[in-house]
Structure 1
Amino acid sequence: MHKGFVYILSNKNRTTFYIGVTSDIKRRILEHKTGIGSAFTKKYNLTDLMYYEKIEGMNECINREKQLKNWHRDWKINLIREDNPEMKDLSASWFIEQDGKLLLSDR
């Protein structure tokens, strides 16, 4: 069974949130950070990874995504703060900037 990830992104001010699903979390976050993730995340500059879950099976991922999208904003923030109380970008160490381009780090 293929694993997947459900993730929550936000902007620098933590005012807007986006919930997505992917089979490759690092690749997908890199896409968001470089502006090719989605029109919504690009429009609102949602590039900071606040939360993610690894889930077995893409159908389960999609079901979890739908569940989280139906949650109230406060519930989502509480979920994020359980594992990320300071609401920092969890992917900050995943990438390096080289020659003006953002690349996946070896770390």
Structure 2
Amino acid sequence: MRWVEHREGVVDGFTRSYRFKRLVYFEEHDSISAAIQREKAIKGWSRRWKVELIESFNAEWRDLFDEIAV
């Protein structure tokens, strides 16, 4: 799964460069194209909107990795 690749640092990009390891938000999609479209949309948002999205889903910013890696 993609989140494992990010957590292990095998995917180049933002998470690897800044060594982020905590998963605080995720969405599931039926297709890769839908996921990519959503990711691109969120990337265009302001930081404030992104923080509000995360906090509406995970107000404590707890690591969700163990909850979905079952």
Report TM bin, short chain: 0.7 to 0.9
Residue 73 of structure 1: aligned partner: 47
User: In the alignment, does 2:10 pair up with 1:44?
Assistant: no
Q: Sequence identity, in percent?
A: 36
Relative to its length, the structure with more strand (as a share) is 1
User: How many corresponding residue pairs?
Assistant: 69
Pair 74,55 (structure 1): closer, same or farther in 2 beyond 3 Å: same
Pair 83,44 (structure 1): closer, same or farther in 2 beyond 3 Å: same
Q: CA deviation at 1:50?
A: 1.2
Q: CA deviation at 1:37?
A: 2.2
Give distance in 2, aligned partners of 1:88 and 1:29.
15
TM-score (ref. length: structure 2): 0.80
Q: CA deviation at 1:39?
A: 4.0
Greater RCO (CA < 8 Å, at least 6 residues apart): 2
After TM superposition, where is structure 1 displaced by more than 4 Å over at least 4 residues in a row? none
TM-score (ref. length: structure 1): 0.56
Rg larger in structure: 1
Q: CA deviation at 1:70?
A: 0.4
Residue 62 of structure 1: aligned partner: 36
Unpaired runs of at least 5, structure 1: 1-26, 95-106
Give distance in 1, aligned partners of 2:13 and 2:30.
28
Give distance in 1, aligned partners of 2:8 and 2:46.
29
